[in-house]
Structure formats: C-alpha cells, structure tokens
Structure 1
Amino acid sequence: MAQPIMTGAVSHPLVQAIITYQQAMATGDFVAGRSVFRDDVIYVVPGTNLFSGTYRGPDAVMGYFGKLMGETGGSYAIDAMQWLVCGDKVLLETKNSATRAGTSLAWDEAILFVFVDGKKARIDLFQADQAAVDAFFAA
C-alpha cells in the first residue's frame, strides 16, 4: 500500500493515544499496547467470520490481535487515513490489508473508539464490504 496521509485531528490527545498504541503494537511492546485499555473494555468485531464477536477485557482484546496476526502470518496491516474527534469519541477511517491461505485482501474500515478517563472503553469496527471480509476470514 502507498504511504497514507493522515488528516483530521491528528494532534488531539485521544488520537495521539491511539497512534502511540499502534506504534507500541507495531514494535511488539504489548505491555504498552495493553495499557491503553480500561479493564472493562469492549471490542466489537462485526460479521460472521472467524473473528466476529464481542471481546471483553484487555486480555481478550490482545488475544484477538494475536489470533489475527497468526491467521494472516503477520501480514495484517492497517493504515490510518482520516481522524474525526467529537468529545470522548474518535472515528478512524483506515485502509487494511492481509494475506491468508495464499489469498490477499485490501479493504476499507472505520473504527469508533470511545474513551473514558483517557483510556479505550469501547471499540466498534465497521467494514465497507462486510461480505468480502467475512469470506476472507471464513472459519
């Protein structure tokens, strides 16, 4: 993928918290990555695929990401494109890509983060083409 150009409220403290998390995860600093979640965080993955469901708590969320990286042989990538902030909510538009079982997929996604006291309390994913994501990540 081409280098993304991030636009929107990039300097906002909540956006910076998400960017710091992404950088920690990219470098394998899972302790720092885990620290941005509230203990009661909820992460909702839509659809009818291997990853669909509601993950509760930092361990479950981190487990989801571990499984995602395992299923894609570490190829899963997310490029932040546009940030929108309203109060304690951040909407991130992304371009995602991955390879699984010899097949590649690139897709658009929106991620809604809800923060409480500066930590991620809820994350909801929205796929531009849910059917394609479901087919790609079929169980």
Structure 2
Amino acid sequence: MSKNIEIVQSYFNAVARGDFETVDRLFADDIVWHQPGTGVQSGIYNGKAEVFAHLGNFAQWSNGTFAIDTIEYLTDNRDLVSASIHFKAEKNDQSIAMKGMDLLRMENGQIKEVWLFSEHIEDEDAFWNYASNK
C-alpha cells in the first residue's frame, strides 16, 4: 500500500470515528475542497476553517446522521488518490444514499485538494437544500 493511500485511509478512519484532531493533521492548512452541484452545500471551500465549517454543516443538517458507510476501494496515481465510496444521511422524513467518487491530491504527506463526485447530484442537491431549511 502506498504512503498516500495510507494517509487517505487514515483520513476516512478518522472521519468515521469523529476524530477531527487527526483530520486536522492530515489536511494542509491551505486545503481546497470542491463540492459538486448547485445546492446549498455546493462550492469551493478554501483553508481548514472553511472546510471544517462546511463539514460541520453536513453533520448539523443531517442531525449527525451523515456517514460514509462504505469505501469500496482506494487507488492512487502518483499524488492523486481516488476513493470509491457510498454515503448516506437522513433528516426528518427525507434520506439520501448513493455512491460517490472522491479524488484527493496529496502534497508533502497531507491532503491538499479534494474533488467530490456524486452518483446523482440533483438528488443530493435536493436533499441538502431540504435538510438545511428544516
């Protein structure tokens, strides 16, 4: 297993445990996060403060139910690591569950940039738009 895959696996493990001290160490200070879609969650987030606020919104808007429940595989190509995942969240009478692909760019042993891709981005947009208003 490559060092970059080990770092990304550590990131996913830390997120699953709610260990954001470890996530903080694994993120570069000037991390850039690309969230797809046109919903309330979508956009580009720059730096740890913006990224952690963004991730906090997912927890808040889903009453803490947002989870990456499966990592099908991780693979790398030099400084890029791709993760085939499945994620889910619930809020009141609404839920979402779908596959996604995360692409992480590594630099100096840290996660420098993240691009997310969702299986059905329109459904994801609709869910987060609903969840953020309830």
* Structure 1 residues 65-80: aligned runs within 5 Å: 65-78=55-68, 79-80=70-71
Answer yes or no: is the 8 Å Cα contact 2:41–2:125 preserved in 1. Answer: no
Gaps in structure 1 of 5+ consecutive residues: 1-10
TM-score, L = length of structure 2: 0.89
Are 1:35 and 2:25 matched, yes or no? Answer: yes
1:130 corresponds to which letter in structure 2?
I
Count of aligned pairs between the two proteins: 129
1:87 corresponds to which letter in structure 2?
R
Alignment-derived partner of residue 112 in structure 2 = 121
- Of all paired residues, the percent bearing the same amino acid is 26
TM-score, L = length of structure 1: 0.86
Question: Structure 1 CA distance, aligned partners of 2:85 and 2:18?
Answer: 21
Partner SS state of residue 123, structure 2: helix
Question: Structure 2 CA distance, aligned partners of 1:126 and 1:89?
Answer: 15
Partner SS state of residue 40, structure 2: coil
RMSD over equivalenced CA pairs, Å: 1.3
1:107 corresponds to which letter in structure 2?
M
Question: Structure 2 CA distance, aligned partners of 1:28 and 1:82?
Answer: 21
Please say which of residues 20-29 and 107-116 is displaced more in the overlay: 20-29
After TM superposition, give the deviation of residue 111 of structure 1 in Å.
Answer: 0.5
Richer in helix (by share): 2
Are 1:13 and 2:13 matched, yes or no? Answer: no
Gaps in structure 2 of 5+ consecutive residues: none
Partner SS state of residue 18, structure 2: coil
CA-to-aligned-CA distance 1:20-69 (integer Å, 9 cap, x gap): 12222333322221111111110010111121011111121111111101
* Structure 1 runs (4+) greater than 4 angstroms displaced: none
Alignment-derived partner of residue 134 in structure 1 = 125
